[in-house]
Amino acid sequence: MVHWSAEEKQLISSVWGKVNVEECGAEALARLLIVYPWTQRFFDNFGNLSSPTAIIGNPKVRAHGKKVLTSFGEAIKNLDNLKATYSKLSELHCDKLHVDPENFRLLGDILIIVLAAHFGKDFTPSCQATWQKLVGVVAHALAHKYH
């Protein structure tokens, strides 16, 4: 089980409290699809992903980004029980969605950059370190049921 210090929990909740889940989720997913275009392979049914402008404006991207980040919020509420919280989602990503777990790491790194752009200097090195730990642990939990 992962240990979270009081300071880490504080850094997580204080940032999360100020995040607009819909905007942040949409931006993170859009940037994933733009910066790492091979990730588009999972979204054949999303329609127009032909350019950064198309991706950013795509309503399915926005909606899915919001869904993904809302789920991330669940992780934050269950920091001490992540593997259980994500057990079914992990199975889904393996058995039905067939997503390489490397993609969770890519999205996590992108999320950090979106947060950094939003919070500026307030996204201190300690803050980044805590959040890099968090996205790593989330990615690990999502990969845990893979077989």
Partner 1 sequence: MVLSGADKTNVKGLFAKIGGQAEDYGAETLERMFAAYPQTKTYFPHFDLGKGSAQVKGHGKKVAAALVEAANNIDDIAGALSKLSDLHAQKLRVDPVNFKLLGQCFLVVVATRNPALLTPEVHASLDKFLCAVGTVLTAKYR
By CB under 8 A, residue 120 contacts partner 1: yes
Site string for partner 1, 29-58 (x = CB under 8 A): -xx--xx----------------x--xx--
SS3 10: helix
Q: Determine which residue in the list 128, 137, 140, 144 makes contact with partner 1, applying CB under 8 A.
A: 128
Q: Considering only residues 119, 140, 144, 145, which one is a binding residue for partner 1 as defined by CB under 8 A?
A: 119
Query: Shortest distance, CB of residue 10 to partner 1, whole angstroms?
Result: 16
Alpha helices in 19-101 (DSSP H): 21-35, 52-57, 59-77, 82-85, 87-91
Nearest to 104 by CA among 132, 76, 139, 69: 139
Q: Tokens 């790492």 label which residue?
A: 36
Nearest distance in Å: CB 13, partner 1: 19
What letter would DSSP give residue 94? I
From the list 2-10, 11-19, 95-103, 108-116, the region that binds partner 1 by CB under 8 A is 108-116
Work out whether 2 is an interface residue with partner 1 (CB under 8 A): no
Q: Could you tell me which residues come within 8 angstroms of residue 145 by beta carbon, excluding any fewer than 6 positions away?
A: 87, 90, 91, 94
Q: Count of H helices and E strands in the chain? A: 8, 0
Judged by CB under 8 A, does residue 101 bind partner 1? no
Residues of this chain that bind partner 1 (CB under 8 A): 30-31, 34-35, 52, 55-56, 109, 112-114, 116-121, 123, 125-126, 128-129, 132-133
